[in-house]
Chains A and B, each alone.
Chain A
Amino acid sequence: MTEQGVRWTAEQVLALAPDDASRKAGGRLGGAGPWSQIGGSASGSVWGLCKGSGSNPYRTVVDLTGPAYKCSCPSRKFPCKHALGLLLLWSAEGVGEPGEAPDWAAQWLADRAAKAARPAGGAAAPVDEEGARRRAERRAARIGAGVTELEQRLADLLRGGLAGQEHTGYAAWEETAARMVDAQAPGLAGRVRELGTIPSCGPGWPARMLEEAALLHLLDRAWMGVAGLPDQLAATVRSRVGLPASGEGEAVRDRWLVLAQYDSVSPDGRLTTRRIWLRGVAGGRPALVLDFGPPGRPPGLALPVGLVLEAEMRFRPGSAGLRADLGERFAAAAPCTEVPAGVSTQAALEAYGAALRDDPWLESWPVVLGPVVPIPGELGWQLADAEGTSALPVSLTGAGSRSRGGLWQLAALSGGGPVTVFGECGHRGFTPLTAWQPGSSEPVALS
């Protein structure tokens, strides 16, 4: 590696774009035309001046280890089109031999390095343990009251019968959800809202509604008896109810391969959630990193699919050990050179089933499936084991579900032959997110 590590691909760069408009604008700036004084350092940063409509060019710097961006343009997009253009240029042509950063770039890079060196969490503030305990108790009491109320609501539902729910509508459940927000149990509020939408979801809704009501009931009961549960399960229950994780989780150092990244917007449009799936190359452990963005601003963390990060992952307690936070990184990210090994459809379902032991509320489990053959169908697609007669239905309704465009991309990659697919395997089926075609180690993020 002579400069800034192995260069990323254009897709990996474009995956960082906060929206379509930036992707296009960045693409237009990805040629040498508007750029001058571009350069990069051996420690993993690139910079350049981009001529815009004004008289002064914009100063753009990217720290590739983050990645983190700095640009003098007034855009509030993050990364802005100039940062994307610079990365595309770097991805396509490189920026030559490593050199010294000019002053305007060096200042920011030095500030970042200084910040990174500071111990996480800052100086130990005097902890008001007594106060914290009292606050936690108060919150637990409010949640307890909410849980009792919710149990009452569910009992009423079952006493009166589900029939007729498709006419009573959503408003009553919306009100219950608001009560759960008041009770400081956002996890319950989300599930209640979800429950309220089921009667309008077409045939088969009574069975689905009973399932969701039962799982909600299970969560209520678990909360009531949380003190008697084993630690991991208790942590799962707390996080499912909506309490922030308490206590430090396990830290695992590995080379983490980014398997997928996608955003979903909450039904009220107020929050964008970015899910990033990773997997330890050596240990094989899956990790889910979440980041959030307020309306109009995409989440800040962006990890292009196919990169490998040598880093420490801090796993939160509970939730089947999936949720993690990205800790210290030890090297600049580099593209992965091998395809992760896949499992059969049977093994994929077994993995999901096993994970339910730790978290019965789990919707799906991350799985690298393969070799499998995609089978298009008008009513539904399947992914079938290359050998044998088993198949998983493709789910188009999960959190990470895509438009059919992504499925056609998957079909195109396969050409009727076997492929390796990463996705979420759950009780609704398998949601494909990323695919590798035979003979190539470059993952294709299904759009």
Chain B
Amino acid sequence: MGEGDEGYGEWQELVGAALLGTDRRRGGGPAGSPEALLDAAAVHTVRRRAGLRPAGARPRPEPAPPDPRPAPPEAAARRLAQLLAGRTGAGSGGGGGRRGSAPDLTELLPQWLAAAGRHGYRAPAALVPALLDAARARTDLRPQALALAGTRGLWLARMNPDWRFALRGGAGGGELPDVNDPSAVERLWEEGLFAERVALLGAVRAHEPAAAPRLLATTWASERAEDRLMFLDSLRAGLSLADESFLEAALGDRSRNVRATAAELLSALPQSALAGRMAERAVACVGPQGVTPPAECDGGMLRDGVVKRPPAGRGERAWWLGQLVEAAPLSCWRERFGGLGPAEIVALPVAAAEGWTEELHAAWCRAAVRQRDPEWSRALLGPASAPPAAGPGTASLAERAKLLETLPDGERAEWVAEFVRAHGLSEAFQLLGVCVVPWAGALGRAVVDALDIAREAGSYPWSFSGVMGLAERCLDPAEAGRLEALTATAEEPPDASPGAAAYWAEAFQRLVSTLRLRAAMLSELTPP
């Protein structure tokens, strides 16, 4: 804002006189006495305020590209506002305060985002800043939050440094050129933001797998190491033999992380040359006669991504063996063991004498996960009812959870349900975490039954708070009715912890109300 030029000089004189003081400014000044100075200043101030004029507008921001997706229904938008407002709330996480019977809103945000994403909605504009803040604080929310925020989110992120992360990761959300227009593709590839380039690469690859490595190769030498790594990482989904020669070349990259990632990706392609080389090395070490770990780590192994120095506390030969077996295609073992299947091979007492079994089975587990091989995973998991420590593959729950992820959804839920029925809930948390949401009927029932058994045993519900939290998020909302009966405060068993029954009733109440809330939330998010 400004005012007319006339009078400005006079005002400056008044300010000067006021700074100096009327005592020190005898004669000739615009205002002799302090009162006269204040009078003049008052007139000036009111006149200036009454005569304010607008300022000249600075350049306007480029308008955000339009987002053709529909806004979610009003009720759903309100729900999102509520979930985002509750985000910073206390009470989630920390084992501090008791949670009471009210649902935990923070944990429902990812489900809302996922459902809205499935229906192809965009975020309501007013909520985009809150959504970006949420994504800034929680990296697990980023892909979905950014996809939902779309072009409006990217537009904002360009102006606010707090949201710069959005310009890197995420699904882009910008408008991509037609992949059949080579010059448009080339321009965006050379000038676009990182997120736009990743999105472009994905689009090109979906259109023609072989074109993606060609596009990458055009600028590969000039990309920064961290960008090269992220580009390679973006090849992970939908990896195919079309990527092989590019990855093979990346084995000679300047950056060690890039080399390692290229090797890892190649080993997930059983038909690749690297997988073939690894198979050769691995079968030379492991066979029906026993295990002979490699004696040295040669240049070829190094180039194929084998790390020479073991972590502290591990022998280097065992370390190399693990890496070779992990990277070798699992299909090579059937022939090596004379036509035996995975289950039989796993059961063989190979090399038990030398004490290599554990090393070998752990490597097979990693290979099964990397190559997403359900048959091997099944063999390494063993029956769900067997005691976890006696399993053939691994006793580690984290590893088992990874193996489970390679099984088909139904089988996975069935295996975990069986596990819960046999061993209860105390070790089931990680395994439940990899099951598809909402949980299949049998799995849900197994969990609820196990919770009921825990209640009858008289322990406190917070011993099961992890599983309870999962159940709130993952149980099929349709189970709410069946659970209602458990929300009544039951008779306390004679040997129960004092007050446990009331706490259980409260915990089940929260479970039911969260399920109801989820059902309401999903029903608001009707397809457009």
Contact = CB atoms under 8 A, between A and B. Distances in A.
B22 A357 contact: no
A371 B144 CA distance: 33
B38 A14 contact: no
A281 B40 CA distance: 41
B506 interface: yes
A31 B516 contact: yes
**Consensus secondary structure, chain A interface:** helix
A384 interface: yes
Given A24-B89, A393-B1, A437-B126, A210 B58 contact: no
A33 B14 contact: no
A211 B516 CA distance: 60
Nearest to A151: B35
B52 A159 contact: no
B1 A346 contact: no
A154 B82 contact: no
Interface stretch (A137-145, A271-279, A286-294, A404-412): A404-412
B187 interface: no
B484 to A, nearest CB: 11
A154 B57 contact: no
B42 A218 contact: yes
A29 interface: yes
Interface stretch (A250-258, A324-332, A374-382): A374-382
A353 B129 contact: no
A305 interface: no
A33 B516 contact: yes
A93 B105 CA distance: 18
B102 A416 contact: no
Contacts of A10: 78-79, 81-82
Contacts of B55: 382, 390-393
Contacts of A172: none
A412 B85 contact: no
A66 interface: no
A356 B46 contact: yes
Contacts of B49: 352-353, 356, 427
A34 B64 contact: no
B351 interface: no
Contacts of A393: 1, 55
B8 to A, nearest CB: 11
B54 A28 contact: no
B434 interface: no
A161 B81 contact: no
A33 B86 contact: no
Given A161-B24, A409-B126, A412-B127, 17 more contacts: A28-B104, A31-B520, A33-B102, A51-B509, A92-B78, A156-B34, A158-B38, A206-B15, A214-B39, A217-B41, A218-B42, A346-B53, A352-B49, A384-B58, A391-B57, A408-B156, A417-B64
20 contacts: A27-B105, A28-B105, A33-B102, A33-B512, A33-B516, A34-B513, A88-B82, A155-B34, A160-B21, A160-B23, A206-B15, A214-B41, A217-B41, A376-B61, A388-B57, A389-B56, A391-B57, A393-B1, A415-B63, A417-B64
